[in-house]
């Protein structure tokens, strides 16, 4: 595996033609106008609907209408009450703690949130960007999702007494704004997502806005930070690749095969840079194995009414690669709309609909198919290496039932068997390669 990963990362150095983010955004938007193509349009839309940036750039309380700002204050008041250094193993004691935290949260919400003002303000915000720009909506989504997850779990590390709840009645202050967020962002989940809890939960200095390790050690905070920051920084590296993918699709449609191959080669080189950054930064210093599962993964779960929580699989890099390379099965529309904002889904669906591999096969462009297969191989090796690396983070926690944030409670031991998951990925991606040769 070490030798294979060495091959994967060989030549993974910053490209000479890398652009400053603002210039890259401008060029992507400009290309969408000057060279109209559905995929270029969706990539431009991804940026414009993500705070005019990618990775997304959310703005927080200072950019919201006055009636919404108290939600931020409530979260900052409740945050220090969530984490504990030692979890109780007594279910009855934990029930008392959960109820006490929720009661305090309800009191804070009643004290600070004006339901009529919030309702009137949100109605106004739905009618115009000038009242609440998209970046502000992203930040508000992050805040509300953090509040709902805080109410759902009430104590960290997560305990089985909360996990065993099948449904939960939320305070009206947390329920009223949620349909507005769902409509504006384009999601259906009652809880947070990788976007709300990671992409949108960082300030301009890329520090956490809605922390879940308030008052804990530096190691706790650093682990929490990198739990989200890693996904954000990977998108920094991936955006040039998305642009090359868009260029490749436009070029092959125009029968410009040399330009198609050149764009795919650049995309492959950028993918190496992206994967190397992820692999290098996913280390025991940034993400302390003993702290990640109890203080990060648990809070991202949901497990209410059959709905799953946040998953690393919701990151756009991997879904973009699957969509572009034609790795199936694709998630259903219903599954993706739970957690992925509309602009992200539109981008992914544009790649799936175009299906560059099918176009290349139809045209008989073997070199284009070969370039795509190289990227499939990179993805397979990265996934296998990632699964093995994650084994260090799967630790036993006596206060909780076994749970993955993205798949809820684990009832079948095979679900968490890393070897079985690696074997499944090998088989799935080998089939994809076999279909193209």
Domain locations in the chain as residue ranges: 2-50+220-435, 61-218
pLDDT-wise least confident of 66-75, 269-278, 287-296, 425-434: 425-434
CA–CA distance, 258 with 192 (Å, rounded to integer): 43
Residues 6+ apart with CB under 8 A from 42: 343, 346, 347, 349, 350
| 423: pLDDT strictly greater than 70 | no
Structure tokens at 102: 């929720």
- Cis status, amide bond into 201, omega within 30 of 0: no
pLDDT tens digits for range 304-356: 998 989 988 899 999 999 999 999 889 999 999 999 999 999 999 999 999 99
169 annotated ligand binder = no
- Other beta carbons within 10 Å of 289: 14
Give yes or no for a contact between 334 and 343, defined as CB atoms under 8 angstroms apart: no
How many Cα neighbours within 13 Å face the side chain of 101? Answer: 25
Classify domain 2-50+220-435 by CATH architecture: Up-down Bundle (1.20)
pLDDT of residue 426: 54
Integer angstrom CA distances of residue 36 from 30, 204, 230: 10, 32, 33
Give yes or no for a contact between 409 and 302, defined as CB atoms under 8 angstroms apart: no
As a whole number of Å, the CA-based R_g of the chain is 22
pLDDT of residue 116: 97
Higher pLDDT, 426 or 374: 374
Helix, coil or strand: residue 305: coil
* Proportion of the chain above pLDDT 90, given as a percent: 78
Query: How sure is the predictor about 433, in pLDDT bands with cuts at 50, 70 and 90?
Result: very low
Which residues are paired to 403 by β-bridges?
A: 409
| 191: pLDDT strictly greater than 60 | yes
- Other beta carbons within 10 Å of 217: 12
Structure tokens at 330: 């694709």
Residues 6+ apart with CB under 8 A from 396: none
pLDDT of residue 59: 97
Instruction: Look up residue 298 and give its DSSP letter.
Output: H
Give yes or no for a contact between 421 and 388, defined as CB atoms under 8 angstroms apart: no
Higher pLDDT, 13 or 365: 365
pTM: 0.91
pLDDT tens digits for range 133-167: 999 999 999 999 999 999 999 999 999 999 999 99
DSSP letter string, 149-183: HHHHH-SBS--HHHHT-S--PPPHHHHSSHHHHII
Structure tokens at 229: 């920051």
Integer angstrom CA distances of residue 399 from 49, 173, 227, 294, 338: 41, 30, 22, 10, 29
């Amino acid at each position: 595996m070490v030798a294979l990963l060495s091959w994967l990362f060989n030549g993974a150095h910053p490209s000479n033609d890398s652009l400053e983010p603002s210039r890259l955004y401008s060029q992507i938007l400009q290309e969408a106008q000057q060279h109209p193509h559905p995929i270029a349009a969706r990539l431009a839309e991804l940026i414009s609907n993500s705070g005019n940036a990618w990775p997304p750039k959310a703005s927080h309380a200072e950019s919201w209408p006055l009636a919404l700002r108290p939600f931020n204050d409530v979260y900052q008041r409740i945050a220090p009450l969530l984490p504990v250094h030692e979890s109780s193993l007594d279910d009855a004691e934990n029930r008392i703690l959960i109820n006490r935290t929720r009661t305090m949260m309800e009191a804070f919400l009643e004290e600070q949130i004006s339901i009529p003002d919030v309702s009137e303000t949100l109605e106004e915000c739905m009618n115009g960007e000038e009242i609440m720009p998209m970046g502000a909506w992203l930040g508000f989504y992050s805040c509300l999702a953090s509040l709902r997850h805080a109410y759902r779990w009430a104590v960290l590390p997560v305990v089985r007494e909360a996990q065993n709840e099948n449904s939960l009645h939320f305070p009206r202050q947390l329920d009223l704004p949620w349909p507005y967020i769902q409509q504006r962002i384009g999601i259906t989940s009652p809880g947070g997502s990788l976007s709300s809890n990671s992409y949108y939960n960082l300030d301009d200095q890329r520090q956490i806005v809605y922390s879940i390790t308030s008052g804990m050690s530096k190691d706790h905070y650093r682990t929490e930070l990198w739990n989200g920051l890693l996904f954000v920084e990977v998108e920094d590296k991936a955006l040039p690749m998305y642009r090359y993918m868009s260029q490749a699709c436009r070029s092959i449609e125009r029968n410009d095969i040399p330009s198609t191959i050149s764009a795919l080669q650049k995309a492959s080189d950028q993918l190496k840079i992206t994967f190397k950054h992820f692999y290098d930064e996913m280390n025991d210093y940034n993400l302390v194995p003993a702290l990640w599962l109890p203080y990060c993964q648990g809070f991202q779960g949901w497990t209410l009414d059959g709905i799953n929580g946040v998953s690393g699989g919701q990151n756009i890099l991997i879904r973009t690669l699957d969509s572009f390379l034609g790795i199936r099965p694709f998630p259903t529309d219903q599954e993706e709309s739970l957690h992925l904002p509309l602009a992200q889904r539109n981008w992914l669906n544009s790649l799936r609909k175009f299906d560059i591999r099918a176009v290349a096969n139809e045209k008989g462009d073997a070199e284009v198919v070969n370039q795509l297969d190289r990227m499939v191989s990179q993805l397979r090796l990265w996934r296998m290496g990632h699964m093995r690396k994650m084994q260090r983070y799967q630790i036993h926690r006596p206060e909780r039932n076994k749970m993955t944030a993205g798949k809820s409670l684990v009832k079948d031991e095979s679900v968490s068997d890393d070897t079985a998951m690696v074997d499944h990925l090998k088989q799935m991606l080998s089939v994809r390669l076999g279909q193209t040769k």
